[in-house]
Amino acid sequence: MDLLESRMSLRIIWNVLLHFGGLGLAWYLYGQGQLIPAFWLLAAILLLDMLWLLLDTWQAQRLLGWMRRELPSPEPDLHGIWQELVVAAYRSMRKQRRRVEDSERQMLVFLDALSATPNGVILVDELGRIEWLNPAAGEFFGLASPQDYGQHLGNLVRDPAFARYWAAPEGQPGGVTMNGRQHSLERPVRLSVQAFPFGQGRRMLLVRDVTSVEQAERMRRDFVANVSHEVRTPLTVLSGFVETMQSVPLNPEESQRYLELMAQQARRMQHLVQDLLTLSRLEGSPPPDHSERAHLAEILEIGANDARALSEVLAAEKGEMPHRIVCRIEPDVPEEVFGSVSELQSAIGNLLSNAVRYTPEGSEIVAGLQRSAEGGVALYVKDHGPGIPAEHLPRITERFYRVDRSRSRETGGTGLGLAIVKHVAQRHGARLHVESKPGDGALFALDFPEHRLFRHEAATPPRPELKPRVI
């Protein structure tokens, strides 16, 4: 470009020298009295100027016409400095076109990235009309792309909370939380919406699904409240007994009865702390890998023995009959899975403990192994207790959630057993399946997928069918 500018400057200087030289010569001839040669010289200079001007105008028009066309287009055949201008203009236009193409590619990459994000993004112009939205925003608000482009966002999203936020001149700090399009009492969907200004009056809306966050916060509040209540109750009882024994003279029989009650409340707190520590360990440690194997039949036997002992203790305290605890194992069912023995023992122990505590005296409790419909193994516990109403089934694995609070405390439960079972199932890739009807007992099953089964390389003879046995 610098060379082209130099050549154009030389061209101008040359034209100026020729014109002044010609005019000087004409003036000299005129001074010598040669009027006719001076006249023809001036006429020639004017004619050459006109021809030069016409040629430059013609070439300039061709150059402008070529520049108005989109690239690529044939270059005009010009002469002299104009051809060099064509080359320079072509290079500049090519460079500018590459810049535009690069900007378009970057914009497409940016929009693709926004489309891939799970958060909703909506771009709105200065009048509140939709310019662009990603699939997540369309799903959250029930909008369609590009059908809803150009529509006013306030006319499409009619939630009162959003309408107040959108109508505010500067919005609300932190945005607004509203119900999603698919929100229901059974499956709540909560959205966090926040607007960010950019450009000349434009706004970008960021939409996030905060359902899990709100649920976690609610569970945290409930957890803190429940832990405080569960710990405060036995502490209050213990404090009352201690004050009584300190202030009131008691005979040996009364003192022994008070000490037994105090020991009962201490054991209750000990069980609560142990379950809390178990939950904390399950949540804070990596899930078990394939380095450890668990023999499910042995775990059932150990859990059944523990449940039998618990049933006998509870029956002796109440003067009732103990439960009949039966183990049933289907023939040829795989009995080994990859997983943690201690965690699975804790899970089956909690299921059997719940069955013992919440079923009538002398009833049958079945713990067994069977093939699942998906080809895996199901570890199950079935009782003949009062059953669980359908409205409680979605929440029974929440911490401290109890169907019957008064009965739970009477039986000594901590309200954390099923939460532990759920976490153990998730850590082993299993599914906790619950079936129950009021008055028809309950079935709790851990369905282990096929890839969690341990298969022996050598062929083993079929396992004979095990008849139900009382342990």
3 state SS of 408:
helix
Q: Does residue 337 share a domain with residue 278?
A: no
For residues 385 and 443, state if they share a domain. Answer: yes
Residue 111 lies in a domain: no
Mean pLDDT confidence for 82-101 = 74
- Phi/psi of residue 439, nearest 5 degrees: 85, 0
Res. 181: pLDDT tops 80:
no
Burial level of 46, CB count in 10 A (0-12/13-18/19+)?
exposed
Find the mean pLDDT for residues 311-317: 84
Question: Would you say residue 235 has pLDDT above 50?
Answer: yes
357 and 270 co-located in one domain: no
Among the residue ranges 19-33, 44-58, 180-194, 293-307, the one predicted with the least confidence is: 19-33
Boundary-marking domain end, from 209, 240, 272: 209
Q: pLDDT tens, 357-370?
A: 888 888 899 999 99
Which region among 22-26, 159-163, 313-317, 376-380 has the lowest average model confidence (pLDDT)?
A: 22-26
Q: What is the pLDDT of residue 365?
A: 92
Q: How far apart are CA 105 and CA 93, in angstroms?
A: 18
Give percent of the chain above pLDDT 90: 8
Contact 311, 349 (CB under 8 A): no
Q: Contact 339/294 with Cβ under 8 angstroms?
A: yes
Of the listed ranges 374-383, 396-405, 444-453, the least confidently predicted one is: 396-405
Q: Mark whether 201 and 312 lie in a shared domain.
A: no
Residue 422 lies in a domain: yes
Asked if 295 and 442 sit in the same domain, the reply is yes
pLDDT at 166 over 90: no
Residue 462 has pLDDT above 50, yes or no: no
d(CA 182, CA 142): 9
* pLDDT value, residue 466: 40
365 and 455 share a domain? yes
The residue with greater pLDDT, 29 or 98, is 98
- Looking up residue 461, the CATH number of its domain turns out to be 3.30.565.10
Residues 184 and 126 in one domain: yes
- For residue 382, pLDDT beyond 90: yes
74 part of a folded domain = yes
pLDDT value of position 186: 63
Whether residue 169 is contained in a domain is answered as yes
Residue 279 in domain: yes
Lowest model confidence (mean pLDDT) among 21-30, 222-231, 356-365, 458-467: 458-467
Overall number of domains in the chain: 4
Beta strands 324-329; 364-371: pairing state:
parallel
- 3 state SS of 325: strand
How large is the average pLDDT for residues 172-196?
78
Assigned domain for 112 exists: no
Say yes or no to pLDDT of 196 above 80. yes
From 167-171, 348-352, 396-400, the region with the lowest mean pLDDT: 167-171
Interatomic CA distance for residues 87 and 37, integer angstroms? 42
The mean predicted confidence, pLDDT, of the chain is 78
51-79 pLDDT per residue, tens = 767 777 777 777 667 666 665 566 666 66
Q: Could you tell me if 465 and 326 lie in one domain?
A: yes
pLDDT bin (cut points 50, 70, 90) of residue 33 is low
Q: In the predicted model, is pLDDT for residue 449 greater than 80?
A: yes
Q: Which residue has the tokens 């709100």?
A: 214
pLDDT score at 471: 40
Same domain, 313 and 392: yes
Tokens 């089956």: give the residue: 348
- CATH number of domain containing 246: 1.10.287.130
Window from 24-28, 155-159, 296-300 with minimum mean pLDDT = 24-28
Per-residue model confidence (pLDDT) at position 397: 84
Q: Between these two residues, 300 and 38, which has the higher pLDDT value?
A: 300
Bond prior to 146 in cis (omega within 30° of 0) = yes
Q: Do 131 and 8 have their domain in common?
A: no
Provide the percentage of residues in the chain whose pLDDT is more than 70: 76
Instruction: Indicate if the pLDDT at residue 400 is higher than 90.
Output: no
Claim to verify: residue 51 and residue 195 sit in the same structural domain? no
Q: What is the pLDDT of residue 108?
A: 80
Q: Which residue has the higher pLDDT, 282 or 203?
A: 203
Q: Which of 423, 429, 426, 428 is nearest to 282 (CA)?
A: 423
Query: For residue 137, what is the domain's CATH number?
Result: 3.30.450.20
Single residue among 105, 133, 154 that ends a domain in this structure: 105
Domain boundary among 72, 105, 138: 105
Q: Which domain holds residue 41?
A: 2-105
Coil vs helix vs strand at 165: helix
Same domain, residue pair 316 and 360: yes
